[in-house]
Amino acid sequence: MLKESGHGEVFAFGISEPGNDSMLFDSGTTAEPQLDGGYSFTGRKIFTSLSPAWTRLGIFGKDGGAREGSGELVFGFIQRDAPGHETLNDWDTLGMRASQSNTTLLHGAMVPPERIFRKLPVGPNQDPLIFAIFACFETLLAAVYTGIAERAFTLAVEAVKRRTSAKYGGRSFSQDPDIRWKIADAAMAMDSIQPHLASVARDVDALVDHGSQWFPKFVGLKVRATENARTIVDVAIRVSGGSSYFRGSELERLYRDVLAGIFHPSNEESAHTTVANAWLGPLES
């Protein structure tokens, strides 16, 4: 993977599936074993970012007959010039438009044996592949949305210093107690997420052993960062005035983009389940 990346290949994820709230722990895509050791994949992948540009797409599916019928998750890479896949032009979204995360259809897409890189049991596990995907995806995602929040906060402060009140004889909005409270509240929210993000990222780099608490840490960071960003962008919109509602305003774009944080895995419900299970154990059957 590193060698091909160095040669200019563009790697992308084909993981998310409609209705699959198990994410990496199960799949609605079929992985059918072939005589040569490869697999044929059939299914539907959504939110395939970089869909017009990727040259290597990481996908996974389930071989339902493996492991004595309990099933096995099979991970592999398909190449752009290989047959059996289709990219739909359906990324007509409220925000995050530049990512071009179109739907990918797999019509018996063949992955040769040398491109199959993992086979895992169905269900939660702490395999290094799963850990690596969670560690990179959730931490980097939290960083992106924290960046959105930082930019929105900067714009909010600039707007408040620039705007004046006719009601109070041209006084700057920076002197309005209510506006000052909102800015302070947003600043405290920024102060809380930045050390949280830095702490998790530092522990990943340092190979700290959090054991079973790693996944709760990752999903907790992702949810806290994306929800925090939504709150701060909302404050920025409120204190910046009606001009931020117009198309072409930078805050208008940030307001649309920040909403996508709701849909990235893990979503709020899944994250709370993960954290509750870590502290209280799974629900009794």
pLDDT in tens, the chain (285 residues): 889 999 999 999 999 999 998 889 999 999 999 999 999 999 999 999 999 999 999 999 999 999 999 999 999 999 999 999 999 999 999 998 888 999 999 999 999 999 999 999 999 888 999 999 999 999 999 999 999 999 999 999 999 999 998 888 899 999 999 999 999 999 999 999 999 999 999 999 999 999 999 999 999 999 999 999 999 999 999 999 999 999 999 999 999 999 999 999 888 998 999 999 999 998 998
| Same domain membership, residue 100 and residue 187 | no
285 assigned to some structural domain: no
Domain limits for position 79: 2-121
209 assigned to some structural domain: yes
Two tokens, residue 57: 């797409």
| Same domain membership, residue 252 and residue 191 | yes
269 assigned to some structural domain: yes
Last residue of a domain, one of 56, 90, 121: 121
In whole angstroms, give the CA distance from residue 120 to residue 63.
10
58 assigned to some structural domain: yes
| Same domain membership, residue 147 and residue 103 | no
| Same domain membership, residue 274 and residue 158 | yes
CATH of the domain at 63: 2.40.110.10
Q: What is the pTM of this model?
A: 0.90
Give the C-alpha distances (Å, rounded to integers) separating 125 from 4, 145, 161, 181.
28, 27, 51, 45
Total domain count, the chain: 2
In whole angstroms, give the CA distance from residue 121 to residue 127.
10
CATH of the domain at 208: 1.20.140.10
Q: Are 100 and 94 in contact (CB under 8 A)?
A: no
Last residue of a domain, one of 106, 121, 136: 121
| Same domain membership, residue 110 and residue 138 | no
